[in-house]
Chain A
Amino acid sequence: MTDVLEADFCVIGAGAGGAVTAAELAEAGARVVVLEQGPSHDADEFSARPPEMLARLYRDGGQTVTLGAPPILLPLGRGVGGTTLVNSGTCFRTPSHVLERWAEEFGLELDETSLRPCFERVERSLSVAEVTPELAGANAAVARRGAERLGWSHGYLRRNARGCVGSGVCVFGCPTSAKQHTGITYIPRALAAGARLFTGADAREILVRGGRARGVLARMPSGRTLEVRAPTVIVACGTVHTPLLLRRSRLPDDSAQRGRNLALHPATAAFALMDEPVDMARGVPQSFYVDEFAGEGIMFEGVAGPPAYAAMSLPLTGEAHARAMADYRRLAQFGLMVSDESRGRVGTLAGRPVIRYSLCERDLAKFRHGLARLEELFLAAGARQVHLPLPAGVRPADATARDLKLMAFHPLGTARAHARAGHGVVDGELAHHGLSGVYVADGSVVPSALGVNPQLTIMALATRLAFHLLGTSVPDRAVDPRAPDAQPDDEEATCRS
């Protein structure tokens, strides 16, 4: 049986891209339907217990793994809020050198000036502010001490949080609802403006006739089919699932780029045993960065969590693991993220996504260099012992790809934007090449690695798309201070200790 709904816009996905687009369109008076495959999450159900929260908030329990050398754990959020529900909340604007590269290499007319109103609008909506040193906690203080002694560039991160008390479990569901993920910001705005949200809605096909979008077919939890008839469809299923839906819908792919160009920002982390108590889970886990080597594609950012999280990621086994965990309160941890040049691809096997990605030599060299520098950072901070994520006896300079223990959190690029139809899946306005009425608004359109966390880039691009669809420009408060805004910015926007 099929139920039918009429809308102006059908948005598939309620994460960083979909939620933003839906809210902006609905607030302008459009009829919007949002289809979200996962459930809606209630903060009352957040337990601050990693295994339980991984199972509940993440796709495949956070156990999505890439195939290649080395295999990489790729945890993805699932449900209203998408990965914004389970990320660390770090907010960077797209670096200017990346925008310049996009203009030169991909023909995208994006620059800091044209994107500024989009970034500002998103930052106001999400209460983006810099973490205070007090809230950052002792784990950040360790990295700061090391960076200062070495004279390395560093700083406190900007995050989307209001009234944060440093619960230490951003990635396992914020128990105070301080993190301003799209499930508690943009989606409520969209609903208040009349949008309709369907959870558990598995979008199976984008309907296209005569080269124009006609709507979306979704399988509902009841077993019924929902047909949303809409002349404009915005696909925001995320970098792994968007190319699969486009392919399943048999949309044209003249560029043969669909599912390709996967960048991940592969990452790893080291631990250090300090003299002083660190209690890494007290404070904002990702609150501090060291960008001394950002020009080489290496970024250091804070990571931390409760004992279960630390125990899972500590690169030791047996007695050595038990001894290190006995000193958990004095353990510090810091992460290393690489702006990757390696490229993977997303396909399917028996209906499930298959992600292939292998680290290229240049990225391996970044890890070798980065791990040596990370060790140097900890030693400069006074670490008694540093545990690098390498097998016993392997030094960073000698590490092979298979020696690395990697995770990744920022999949990008599988429906990349390119001005020319023969080279990209969507154009500079995020419209699907060769079709009318199909747009993409998630990390899949981002055509290259960013070198920084991508949520703000995705949200700014989604904002730009929404106003493009509305045929108006993004309100610019720098030009007109009376420009309408979703959130007054005189409200408390900073984290508090």
Chain B
Amino acid sequence: MDALVSAGLEDFLAAAPRPQRLVMGLLLALARRPRGAALLARMPLAEQAAQATLALGRYDAPAVARPLGWDAAAVVARGRELRRAEGRP
């Protein structure tokens, strides 16, 4: 897996209902290729869905998110510490 793409993207795509999963798989395949992207550009709704999904995966990757000030691991660690210290569920 590319370090600049979140591993969680696969889980996200797999969780979609089957028809959407198939359509999104096709759209992402197009979006990742220059000629496919040009084709998608003629279908704004489809392009928007594909680009949004790719962006979700890209900006979730720690290597991309950390320079933008977001460290998910630190947020989770702080949460765990607080829950344990205060006996929260």
Mark A residues whose CB is within 8 Å of B.
Answer: 43-44, 46-56, 58, 60-65, 71, 163, 165, 167-169, 174-178, 184, 188, 279, 281, 306-314, 317-318, 321, 325, 328-329, 352, 391, 402, 405
Known: A168-B75, A188-B89. 6 other contacts (CB 8 A): A58-B15, A63-B20, A175-B78, A177-B83, A306-B65, A308-B56
Return A329 CB to nearest CB of chain B, in Å: 5
Among all A-B residue pairs, the 7 with the closest Cβ atoms: A61-B15, A175-B79, A52-B8, A51-B8, A308-B60, A311-B55, A55-B11
Residues of B contacting A48 with CB < 8 Å? 72-73, 75-76, 79
Question: Using an 8 Å CB-CB cutoff, how does the interface string of B12-28 with A read, 1 for contact, 0 for none?
Answer: 11111100100000000
In the bound complex, how far is the Cα of B45 from the Cα of A352, in angstroms? 23
In the bound complex, how far is the Cα of B12 from the Cα of A145, in angstroms? 37
Residues of B contacting A405 with CB < 8 Å? 48
**Cross-chain contact B52 with A312 (CB below 8 angstroms):** yes
Q: Count B interface residues, CB 8 Å.
A: 42
Count of A-B residue pairs with CB < 8 Å = 147
In the bound complex, how far is the Cα of B52 from the Cα of A310, in angstroms? 10
**Cross-chain contact B12 with A46 (CB below 8 angstroms):** no
From B6, B20, B73, B86, A51 is in contact (CB under 8 Å) with: B6
Residues of B contacting A314 with CB < 8 Å? 55
Q: From residue 46 to 89 of chain B, which have CB atoms closer than 8 A to chain A?
A: 47-48, 51-53, 55-60, 64-65, 68-70, 72-73, 75-76, 78-80, 82-83, 86, 88-89
Return B68 CB to nearest CB of chain A, in Å: 4
Mark B residues whose CB is within 8 Å of A.
Answer: 6-9, 11-17, 20, 44-45, 47-48, 51-53, 55-60, 64-65, 68-70, 72-73, 75-76, 78-80, 82-83, 86, 88-89
Given A44-B80, A188-B89, A317-B51, verify A52-B11 contact (CB < 8 Å). yes
In the bound complex, how far is the Cα of B64 from the Cα of A169, in angstroms? 18
In the bound complex, how far is the Cα of B6 from the Cα of A317, in angstroms? 19
**Cross-chain contact B60 with A51 (CB below 8 angstroms):** yes
Return A379 CB to nearest CB of chain B, in Å: 25
Residues of B contacting A56 with CB < 8 Å? 11, 15
Residues of B contacting A169 with CB < 8 Å? 75
From A50, A175, A281, A352, B76 is in contact (CB under 8 Å) with: A175
